[in-house]
Amino acid sequence: EVLVELGAVASLRRSSRRHGVPFDVALLSVVLGATFRALAALRDAPQQRGNSAAGGNAEDLMSLPLTLYAPMRDGDLNDGMLGLFSDWRDATVPCSAQTTVLGLCLDVAEMIRHRRWGVFDPIQNSERILVNILPLDEQPRGQRQFRQTRAHEYGNKRLSPGRERKAWKQPHRPMRVTLEQESPEAWWVSLDINADRFPTAWCRGF
């Protein structure tokens, strides 16, 4: 788990407003960029160059297959209805040696804004990275201006020891990414990782 808070959140908010990218999409793009960077470093490491699965030169195009939990209020009058208007959608994010962090943010934002994704494929789902974004409703509600918070859920999590690393023998998806907002100034980035796909060396690079 990685805690992003205070100055980091403020800086990312300023950048996302400047370039017209929603904050949660910008944060997801930063996580994807760090994933690509660690993958490239692992692929180009001397001990990996002879491995065909990790080989190739720096010009090779990489991609991450994602399954996103996305809001789907696209129908007529959906915005006035009560219900769970969300579903899984599959998308693939590419990255090359020429891709910049800003370029990746804009590409991911365009993909989500124009819904350039496919229908959920349950057969291939175990081979895709699962992404779930849990933002707060930052709009004050009611006469007393109540605001949603998750501070009670996290408690003293900042001061408590990190979770013990666990491993499972059965096959499972490459990674599960959860971006959860604790407060307006704090987000938690949680990664559940398949060590066969993302080994310890990748974790150090991330």
Burial of 172: CB neighbours in 10 Å, binned 0-12, 13-18, 19+:
middle
pLDDT for 168: 56
pLDDT for 27: 95
Q: What are phi and psi of 120, to 5 degrees?
A: -55, 130
DSSP string, 9-55: HHHHHHHHHHTT--HHHHHHHHHHHHHHHHHHHHHTSGGGTT-TTT-
Nearest residue to 54 (alpha-carbon basis) of 40, 33, 37, 67? 40
pLDDT for 45: 72
The verdict on pTM exceeding 0.85 is no
Written as one letter, the residue type at 156 is: N
Written as one letter, the residue type at 20 is: G
pLDDT for 75: 59
DSSP 101: H
Written as one letter, the residue type at 129 is: I
pLDDT for 161: 67
pLDDT for 107: 95
Bridge partners, residue 3, by sequence: 188
Bridge partners, residue 92, by sequence: 65
**Which strands form 175-183's sheet, in the order they lie side by side?**
2-5, 186-193, 175-183, 129-134, 62-71, 86-95, 118-119
Per-residue pLDDT of the chain (206 residues; tens, 9 = 90+): 888 988 999 999 999 999 999 999 999 999 999 999 999 888 877 655 444 333 344 456 799 999 998 876 655 665 666 666 678 899 999 999 899 999 999 999 999 988 899 888 988 888 999 999 988 876 777 777 777 677 666 666 666 666 666 655 556 789 999 999 888 888 999 999 888 888 888 888 88
Nearest residue to 182 (alpha-carbon basis) of 160, 158, 206, 164? 158
